[in-house]
Structure 1
Amino acid sequence: MTDVDPITFEVIRHRLWAINDDQARTASSLSGTAIVHEGYDFNAGLTTASGDGLFVGAYVLHHATGIDDFVRKIVEQWGYDDIREGDVFFTNDPWWGALHANDAVLAMPNFAQGTLVSWSGIVMHEQDVGGSVPGSMVATAQDQFVEAPLLPGVKMGEGFALRKDIEGIWLRNSRTPTLNRLNLRARLGAMRRTHDRIVELVERYGLETVLTVQDQIVEHVERVVRARLAEIPDGEWFARGYHDHDGTHDTIYPVGLALTKTGDRVTFDFRDSAPQARGPINCARPALEGAVLGVVLMELCYDLPWSVAALRRVISIESTPGTVIDALPPAATSAASFMGTLTAQDTSVHAMGQMLLTSARHREEAQATWNPGMSGCTIVTPPTSFGEEPTLAFMANHFGGGGGARVHSDGVNTAGPFHSMKGRVPGIEVLEQRGKVLCTHRRELIDSGGPGRFRGGVGMEYGVMPYRTGVVSSHSTMASGVIVPAGRGLAGGLPGATASTRVLRATNIRSALAEGRLPTSASELTAERVDVEAPKQHTTVTEDDVIVGTIQGGAGYGDPLLRDPESVLQDVRSRYVSPEQADVAYGVVIVGDEVDREATEAVRARRREARRAVGSAPPRVDGDVLHPVADVVEVVDTGNRRTQRCSICRTELAADDESFVAGATTRELDWGVAVPGLGDRVSPEYVLREHACPGCGVALAADVQHRDDAPLASRLFPSKTLAPVQS
């Protein structure tokens, strides 16, 4: 270690940050697939020589949060003496660090002055990597052997060039070898540029200085994250997701999380999760870690380098091998990246949101879950002659889901997934050009955002069809949050819409196109029949069929009856909320184009009264506010004890080390309160539970649960160090 002055530290820190961002942009620009250069389904990362994660890019986070794990496996397998400048290492094996077989990882060591300085890595989603189904995501797979071949870590290149034998094995198993070959070279070119820039950095500032700054980056991020955790009250928070359908069986797989924070450390305990599935929804341990680390980067490292190594020093992740989020071979994992992985992510978002709400300083970082899971489809048109490659249109419309509501504002409409700040829906023209499809429409979906004091962002509806193919095409649906809403609101907010996929068979689409009409919604089409797809399903489609899918909205924050009526009116005018839902979910009565305030207050008063406890009035308490707990729940010191109360009416709810839900009234809501028509689609095994203040009837929490499950009772640990805060 050498002494580095603060200015030099900042210059090198930002230079490395920029180098990683530049390699990501370069790789996506050179890619030949729309899902990468349009949808940004990829990411890049930098690690130290030993594999400590320094930076990950702002694209799909859990792609890059496992690059450090892959590098450490390379070092363990080859040893430093057999790793040379210009070597290139590759894997698409989930137990080596890929999310699933399609997400291939390429990593390269960066040498300067004869010394291994760092590693760069880039992950891209490939259109097809083999297996029994075009697109390589096999809905009916019950083990890995009907999915794409897996390559554990291999040395794919030497001297900055790819080895033809290893590359040949990889491409031989793909239906789209041309695109896969181009993506390999896109990664290689970007990482070669990164290598040269690392050499330039060392030449300018010196080898010891650059190595020291890398270590100091990790130490800096660790120090700040520990400090932020120390400012959050200690406690335990729970979240549970219900992953629907495994590809073959209409089965629900619970994923349970207990998040414990003590001092400056936090533990994510997923041991209360279902055994691994006989289907492709499982994820391996590296994907679980990537999902959790990505959530913490987003919510605690918003102004810091995204250093995975720093988080690994302060976060523990506990799981049981052989479960749906920590599967063991030969588990099927072809849908892992957006199934088990994202269920783990969504439960982490919900638990962390509850934790952050308890901190007066950090509560504004809390968010309800964004459009959870995924709902997407792939249309594959087979070649019309021998020697041609099929065309694959991976419709990444899930990048148009709604953002989760926040403590201070609504969720962002059609924002995309939580884990990819730069993710976006691929351009229609590019998809149509590359995929032999026609996109009939995309539109924001009314009533899809979860109700709350702040509304979840709305999702999207899309229509797509095979176009000018001359043959029958195959279609794969891969979705979650279909049978049970996957979103979770915070502090009384409700979930957003579920996902759905319908195939309109034998429609009038071709006659409409011949007349010069392009439908703007499914309601403008006629069809001989409508097939409602299972969450995971393979089928065939013709040029007379139109696939119509809906993408979930984000969940809400806070009691919907606390939402400003004028905000509801504006939502109705903007077609984010229907007039009917304005009444059902928000208690806002709209007459003509204005809010009837007197009627609105009367409706809301009746609904709050229905929530309140029957009988004698509950006790009220006064005291100094120590810290918040939820939107309208706070801990107060009465002088001789600490307790939790409603901040609106001061009704006492529970002791400071108990769950405030214990003192609330609880009832089951009709699903239509969250989203119109949702009750017709949700499994009757699951309920929407609302917990309210027994004194004033304000909603305190709401959750989606199996009807036999007990309420999720998070709790705070007693603390004597917290001083009163300003109300």
Structure 2
Amino acid sequence: MSNVAEIRMQVMWNRLISVVEEQALTLLRTAFSTSVRESGDLSAGVFNPRGEMLAQAVTGTPGHVNTMAEAVLQFMNEIPREEMFEGDTYVTNDPWQGTGHLHDITMVSPSFLNGELVAFFACTAHVVDVGGRGFGADGKSVYEEGIQIPIMKFAERGTVNRDLIRILRSNVREPNQVIGDFYSLAACNDVGHRRLVDMMNEIGLASLDGLGEFIFSRTHDAMLERIRTLPKGSWSNELVTDGYDEPVKLAATVSVHDERVDVDFSGSAPMSRWGINVPIIYSKAYACYALKCVVAPDIPNNAASLAFFTVSSPTNILNAARPAPVALRHVIGHMVPDLVLGAMAQALPGRILAEGAAALWNIHISVRPANGAAGRRAEVLMFNSGGMGARPALDGLSATAFPSGVHTMPIEATEHTGPIVIWRKELRPDSGGDGEFRGGLGQVIEIAATDGHEFDFSAMFDRVRHPARGRDGGGDGAPGVVRLDDGTQLRPKGWQHVPEGRRLILELPGGGGYGDPARRSVDARAEDRSKGYVSENDR
């Protein structure tokens, strides 16, 4: 390929990324749920007619993007090509064919140019409610966790399936928000399709085959070069999480070969009777993300880069079989990167960050008038983050969502959704593990219902009994705490009650430290104290 032709292909590749980024931003602008609109809990991407991901939007989470990369193939298996028409949009929230739990809605739309199928657009977003027990770990099977939507048509030839809309409206607590998000997802794919057609007409492309070959060949060669530089062998790691009512052990063996990297989750705990199980599609998504952070963080994420990683597991908590409850699959799934990175730290000493809070401290609040009085009811969802682990040459980031990458919801947006007040939201001093480089801080959040109201909440927290571990001599991060303002200790998982007049206080865990604390510089310690990151008499 000539230099001019190669430059032209690179420009088109960049243009394609712009197309999917506009696709994602459409969802951000039009979504009804704060989890999407404010936190970016979504993904968007474009796929070739064989279902291979060509490009993903920068906006989005690894759990959504990497599961979506497999989910499109599931849609193609369920809906024959002869039943795909212009104006179609397909939908599912099946945890084993989508992104791991019922609260995530995945939509796929075929894209036609002059009557020929040239691409698929796909997007995923978390909605506020899917009925059932609500967003929590208390279900004993997926049947209790909400409405299940098999792969089906949301719209055919541009006409929306009104029966599906009626079924949804009858099964969820916030029908306007949920149905609004369904339309936002469909609009997201439609924008991607229109921009792609404009691009192809402008450039004179009849198909994406040539551009796809360019993308995949460059990505493949770059990934292969990186993997060949890694040390070869197998390394194992174990990690213990809080679980629901008893600790859960996670285990992984990472094997690096000449042209691939394998991850095996054998030795992990068996499936739980509570909703913290993880379908393998989600475990694989975060295992691949962890490996890519180490091997090739700068190489685009697409079908060619993901093809170098294989993930396997017997049936266990990281490979849960239907109909296991999976509503909180993210809590255990977000631990997978720390698990995999702990194995890679043995292969690449001095290059891997310490463990962090990992799992988001999501909270779903169901607020209502107290004692049957008049007032407002609402379902409120908040995403919150503890501290990241310290890095080999830098302190950990505070109150930052790693590995999920979602944004923290603004207090104003959260309070607008229901009768609650966030009285406090601040960094938590002394929560980052000590070390040559300090772990990131957690945060303290204080929540109450407005006068005349009470609320139940679904706790989805971890690192309360098993804090983030430091690396290479660094100290552990502080464990999390869940309590009321009168000192009553609450459980880290499950639905619980906060009476009228009481405040819920969440103290989020900090990240582990990196390196010998004795090597932390005097200036760094002075800065920690001056900024209030550590107590005056601490360290």
TM tier, shorter chain?
over 0.9
Question: Which residue of structure 1 aligns with residue 354 of structure 2?
Answer: 368
The CA deviation string for residues 488-539 of structure 1, in whole angstroms up to 9 with x for no partner, is 33322233122221122xxxxxxxxxxxxxxxxxxxxxx3xx2211121212
1:176 CA displacement: 0.5
Shift in alpha-carbon separation, 1:3–1:173, aligned structure 2, 3 A: farther
Contact 2:62 2:403 in 1 (8 A): no
Change over 3 Å in CA distance of 1:106–1:426 after alignment to 2: same
- More displaced, 343-352 or 16-25? 343-352
Establish whether residue 493 from structure 1 lines up as the match of residue 460 from structure 2: no
User: Following TM superposition, by how much is the alpha carbon of 1:405 offset from its aligned partner in structure 2, in angstroms?
Assistant: 1.6
Look up the equivalent residue of 1:57 and give its one-letter code: A
Deviations 1:170-216 (A, max 9, x none): 33211011001111111111211110111112212333563211232
Q: Distance in 2 between matches of 1:54 and 1:350?
A: 30
**Partner residue in 2 for 1:552:** 509
1:343 to 319, 335, 339: 335
Q: Which amino acid aligns with 2:416?
A: Q
Paired residue secondary structure (1:238): strand
* Match of residue 310 from structure 1: 304
Q: Cα deviation per residue 1:613-671 (whole Å; 9 max; x = unaligned)?
A: xxxxxxxxxxxxxxxxxxxxxxxxxxxxxxxxxxxxxxxxxxxxxxxxxxxxxxxxxxx
1:416 to 401, 406, 410: 401
Partner SS state of residue 5, structure 1: helix
Q: Deviations over 1:423-451 (max 9, x none)?
A: 22111111111121101011111111122
Displacement after TM superposition at 1:94 (Å) = 0.8
3-state secondary structure, aligned to 1:217: helix
Between 1 and 2, higher relative CO (CA 8 Å, sep ≥ 6) is seen in 2
Paired residue for 2:430? 447
Counterpart in the other structure of 2:391: 406
The one-letter amino acid paired with 2:43 is N
Conserved? CA contact 2:377–2:418, under 8 Å: no
Q: 1:256 aligns with which of 251, 254, 257?
A: 251
Alignment of 1:667-678 (within 5 A): none
Q: Does 1:438 align with 2:415?
A: no
What per-residue deviation string (whole Å, max 9, x for no partner) do you get for residues 540-574 of structure 1? 22330101001222222222222112211211221
Letter of the aligned partner of 2:51 in structure 1?
G
Q: Check the 8 A contact 2:139/2:274 in 1, yes or no.
A: yes
What secondary structure sits across from 2:335 in the alignment?
Answer: helix
Letter in structure 2 aligned against 1:393: V
Query: In structure 2, what residue type is equivalent to 1:571?
Result: D
SS of match in other structure, 1:571: helix
Find the aligned partners of 1:152 and 1:98 in 2 and give their Cα distance.
Answer: 13
Distance 1:216 1:245 in 2: 45
Conserved? CA contact 2:118–2:207, under 8 Å? no
Match of 1:625 in 2: none
Query: Structure 1's 6 and 266: CA in aligned 2 closer, same or farther, altered over 3 A?
Result: same
Q: Distance in 1 between matches of 2:361 and 2:419?
A: 21
Instruction: Provide structure 1 residue ranges, at least 5 long, that are not aligned to the other structure.
Output: 505-526, 583-727
Equivalence for 2:64: 63
Q: TM-score, normalised by structure 1?
A: 0.70
CA 1:354–1:581 in 2, change beyond 3 Å: closer, same or farther?
farther
SS at match of 1:10: helix
In structure 2, the partner of 1:21 is: 21
Other-structure match for 1:459: 442
Structure 1 partner of 2:215: 217
Compared with structure 1, are the counterparts of its residues 192 and 496 closer, same or farther at alpha carbon in structure 2 (3 Å cutoff)?
A: same
Q: Aligned runs of 1:170-569 on 2, under 5 Å?
A: 170-207=168-205, 210-246=208-244, 250-307=245-302, 309-321=303-315, 323-336=316-329, 338-357=330-349, 363=351, 366-382=352-368, 390-398=377-385, 401-420=386-405, 423-468=406-451, 470-485=452-467, 487-504=468-485, 527=486, 530-569=487-526
Partner of 1:45: 45
Determine the C-alpha separation between the residues in 2 that align with 1:131 and 1:81: 35
Cα deviation for residue 352 of structure 1 reads: 3.3
Instruction: Indicate conservation of the 8 Å contact 2:464/2:509, yes or no.
Output: no
Of stretches 158-167 and 98-107 in structure 1, the one that deviates more from structure 2 is 158-167
Q: Deviations over 1:646-704 (max 9, x none)?
A: xxxxxxxxxxxxxxxxxxxxxxxxxxxxxxxxxxxxxxxxxxxxxxxxxxxxxxxxxxx
Name the CA distance, whole Å, in 1 between partners of 2:193 and 2:492. 43
Q: What is the DSSP-based 3-state SS (H/G/I as helix, E as strand, rest coil) of the residue aligned with 1:281?
A: coil
Determine helix, strand or coil for the equivalent of 1:207.
Answer: coil
What is the Cα deviation at residue 3 of structure 1?
12
| 3-state SS, counterpart of residue 65 of structure 1 | helix
Please report how far the alpha carbon of residue 328 of structure 1 lies from its aligned counterpart in structure 2 after TM superposition.
Answer: 0.4
Conserved in 2, the CA contact under 8 Å of 1:268 and 1:317? yes
Return the index of the structure with the highest Cα Rg. Answer: 1
Write the distance in 1 (CA, Å) between the matches of 2:453 and 2:396: 42
The AA in structure 2 aligned to 1:220 is R
In structure 2, distance between residues paired with 1:465 and 1:94: 33
Aligned to 2:94: 93
Query: What amino acid maps onto 1:97 in structure 2?
Result: G
Amino acid at match of 1:289: K
Q: Which digits, 9 at most, give the CA deviation of each residue in 1:87-130, with x for residues without a partner? A: 11111111112221111111111111222222211111111110
Equivalent-residue separation in structure 1 for 2:82 and 2:213 (angstroms) = 22
Quote the RMSD (CA, aligned, Å). 2.4
Give, in angstroms, the shift of residue 68 of structure 1.
2.4
Distance, in Å, in 1 between the alignment partners of 2:2 and 2:185 is 33
8 A contact 2:482–2:505 mirrored in 1: yes
What is the deviation of 1:19?
1.1
**Residue 271 of structure 1: CA displacement?**
1.0
Q: 2 CA distance for matches of 1:347 and 1:119?
A: 33
**Contact kept in structure 2, 1:379 and 1:466, CA below 8 Å:** no
Query: Contact 2:439–2:511 at 8 Å: present in 1 too?
Result: yes
Question: 2-side partners of 1:105 and 1:383: how far apart?
Answer: 34
Instruction: Tell me if the contact between 1:457 and 1:553 (Cα under 8 Å) persists in the aligned partners.
Output: yes
The residue type equivalent to 2:37 in the other structure is H
Gaps of 5+ in 2: none
Percent identity, aligned pairs only, is: 26
Q: Is the 8 A contact 1:283 1:333 kept in 2?
A: yes
Residues 131 and 167 of structure 1, relative CA distance in 2, 3 Å threshold: same
